[in-house]
Amino acid sequence: MSRGKSYEKVEMGEALDHLYNSKKILENFISALTEAARQNKEKLAELDLARRFVKALTEDGERKRKK
C-alpha cells in the first residue's frame, strides 16, 4: 500500500557521491589499503619467524640423530 510516497531508484555510485565527495572516497580507500598492507606485513613477519623457528628445530633434531 502506497501512501503517496514515491521513491526513485538510485545507483550505488550516485548515492556515494551524495554521502562523500570523490576525494574523500579515494582517501578512505587508500587508508584502508595502507592499513591492510601494514597488517599483512606484520603477519608475514610473524610467519617468517615461525618458519625460522621450525627450521632451527628441524636442523637441531637432524644433528642429534647423526651423532
How does pLDDT run across 24-48, given as a tens digit for each residue?
889 999 999 999 999 999 999 999 9
DSSP class of residue 63?
H
- What pLDDT sits at residue 33? 96
Residue 22 lies in a domain: no
Long-range contacts of 14-20 (CB under 8 A, 24+ apart): none
Residue 65 lies in a domain: yes
Residue 24 lies in a domain: no
Q: Which of these, 16, 41, 10, lies nearest to 29 by C-alpha position? A: 16
Residue 58 lies in a domain: yes
pLDDT-derived band at 67 (thresholds 50, 70, 90) equals low
pTM equals: 0.53
Grid coordinates of 6: 514515491
Q: Which domain holds residue 51?
A: 36-67
- What pLDDT sits at residue 27? 93
13 within 8 A of 21, measured Cβ to Cβ: no
CA distance linking residue 45 with residue 39, whole number of Å: 10
Number of domains within the chain: 1
pLDDT-derived band at 55 (thresholds 50, 70, 90) equals very high
Residue 37's Cβ-side half-sphere holds a number of Cα atoms within 13 Å equal to 6
